[in-house]
Amino acid sequence: MSDLTRGFDVAAKLLDFTSARARALATNIAHASQPGWRRVDVEFGALLEAVRLERDGGRKGALARVEPEARIDESALPGSNGNSVDFEREQVQSDKNALLHQLATEFINSKLNGLRSAIRGQA
């Protein structure tokens, strides 16, 4: 991965993860009152590890291979009806996820604007 594309690649993959997490959180909210529903979430640990491997270990392609995966949140305790969704927690996590998604989008827009300026000779 070149220095020119590294930021784009990481930001694009971050958008993949935040999009997958938004779907998982929306699914949780939709099933908040369904007895027995187990909360699902997308963890970002694999993405962080892939970025670290490419940066520190020189493992090419680690970022391209990592994909977001919704999994049951084993740490979420079920209530009396067996449902482990906490509606307020889902709303807060959804808001935080949206901010992270917006940050990645703004980063990409900023880099693209810089490239446009450089191409026009305005850098």
8-state DSSP, 61: T
Looking at the 3D structure of the chain, how many domains does it have?
1
pLDDT in tens, 24-71: 999 999 999 999 999 999 999 999 999 999 888 777 889 999 999 999
pLDDT for 2: 60
For CA atoms 4, 9, 15, 18, give the dihedral sign.
Answer: negative
Domain span at 28: 3-119
pLDDT for 3: 64
8-state DSSP, 37: -
pLDDT in tens, 73-105: 999 999 999 999 999 999 999 999 999 999 999
Cβ 12 vs Cβ 108: under 8 Å: yes
